[in-house]
Amino acid sequence: MSGSSGGATRIDGERLMGRLDELAQIGAIAGTHGNCRLALTDEDRAGRDLVCTWMADLGLEITIDGLGNVVACTEPGGVADSVMMGSHIDTVATGGRYDGNLGVLAGLEVIESVLASGHMPSRPLSVAYFTDEEGSRFAPDMLGSLAYVGGMALEEALKITDREGVSVGGELDRIGYRGSAPVPGTVPYAYMELHIEQGPVLEFHGIQIGVVEGVQGISWTEVTLRGQSNHAGTTPMPLRRDAGLAACRIAGEVREMAHNIGDSQVGTVGSISLVPNLVNVIAGSATMTVDLRNTSEGMLQHAEARLDEIVARIAEGEHLAAAMRRTARFEPIDFHPSVIDLVERCAAEASLTHRRLPSGAGHDAQMLARVCPTGMIFVPSFDGVSHNPAEYTAPEDIEAGANLLADVVWRLANGDIDGVLSSGADAASDEMAR
């Protein structure tokens, strides 16, 4: 139930679950709980339309920028002074219904509950969904929020193409979401994102809330290997130039390398495409992706250098030409210390079990953290599973996370954290100016 007792408004958990369910009907993967709403597809458009309808029903002022980022605010022209909530509503092709969608719909729910309570905080509230957070159709990930904070020029973002050569700009025009608001966008006073953990830590420890300290660095590389396509039966083993074999060896060594570096280092080869990809033909070329992540920038650079060495050595051994292209690169970021403290304090006051943790996944919040005080709240993921239709978070965890979001946002919007945040905000803008 929603309501207010003079402080933060409590959200309506059933309404939030209802909206999550309704949005999940768009691009539903048959026979599963999951979704396929790749960025800027027809399904993404239908999801965008539905969320915009809900924003408009609340009387919010909606702006759409040149990259399709959508921001809705309780006050016309009020975004710069607002506490912004948000995330993304695009999914990976084999996605769940909570990743990203929760942050957007919980933000909408907080706004609806606050409006219904009749008690407005001092600052306006806004809720945003950013374009192509997943990056699985158009790399890099967090594309919309990256451009929103000035990390990539709009013209450059519009030219990015998917594997079929279709551009971001063309798809935005086709689905009617190339808006007129400027990119970079308006920097809010502060930004908060509620998200599922997408990992096993909270569930393993039986904890309700993750107080997110920051996001690890991300490095994506596309590796292309060219050898010679030839007959599988007639080509003696020593005379082969097999791009498929080299791709598999690289995948094996990436895993070994991540294991040897240890700590937070992870390494994933999530995609290998072989040409011609036939049973009786040696693969003449291979295109593969390598995703490396680490909470330490220095260690991430070390992993990248190791990858260069692995690819060069294996390609040479198989007499292949190799090319490497970096498709995403983000340094690790720390969220604002005062916002982290505030999330922790609000969780403790609400008697929610909580622990601090870094985020393994990328988030729009890591982009907003470049320009304004930013924080994130995690809720548990069943079995730690995400980017999978089986992704699940219990309704009571969602409600607890959304109520915590409402509390944190209420305090931020009333400037109610002992003035610590305002000095931190100055530090954040000094950081940007450097």
Sites of contact with ligand GLV (CB under 6 A): 134, 141, 361-362
Chain-centre distance of CA 15, in angstroms? 24
Which CB, 135 or 284, lies closer to ligand GLV? 135
Q: From the CB of 215, what's the least distance to ligand GLV, in Å? A: 9
Cα angle 109-114-115, degrees, rounded to a multiple of 5: 100
Q: How far apart are CA 417 and CA 69, in angstroms?
A: 30
For ligand GLV, give the closer residue by CB, 128 or 361.
361
Q: Which is nearer to Mn ion, 100 or 284 (CB)?
A: 100
Shortest distance (Å) from residue 66 CB to Mn ion: 23
* DSSP reduced 3-state for 285: strand
71-100 residues in contact with Mn ion (CB under 5 A) are 99-100
Q: 318 touches which of ligand GLV, Mn ion, none (CB within 5 to 8 A by kind)?
A: none
Asked whether 220 and 388 are in contact (CB, 8 A), the reply is no
Nearer to ligand GLV, 179 or 199 (CB): 199
Closest approach, Cβ 404 to Mn ion, in A, equals 18
Q: How far is the CB of 269 from ligand GLV (least distance, A)?
A: 14
362 binds, among Mn ion, ligand GLV, none (CB under 5 to 8 A by kind): ligand GLV
User: Judged by CB under 5 A, does residue 193 bind Mn ion?
Assistant: no
Burial class (CB in 10 A: 0-12, 13-18, 19+), 11: buried
CA 266 from chain center: how many Å?
A: 17
Give buried/exposed letters for 238-262 (b at 16+ CB in 10 A, else e).
Answer: eebbbbbbbbbbbbebbeebbeebe
Could you tell me if 108 and 73 are in contact, meaning their C-beta atoms sit under 8 angstroms apart? no
Long-range contacts of 151-160 (CB under 8 A, 24+ apart): 151/367, 151/370, 154/66, 154/67, 154/183, 157/67, 157/183, 158/66, 158/67
Residue type for position 216: Q
Q: How far is the CB of 208 from ligand GLV (least distance, A)?
A: 22
Cα 265 from chain centroid?
19
Shorter beta-carbon distance to ligand GLV: residue 330 or 392: 330
Q: Which does 141 bind (CB under 5 to 8 A by kind): Mn ion, ligand GLV, none?
A: ligand GLV
Minimum distance of ligand GLV from residue 359's CB (angstroms): 8
Q: Which is nearer to ligand GLV, 214 or 362 (CB)?
A: 362
- Would you tell me which residues interact with Mn ion (CB under 5 A)? 99-100
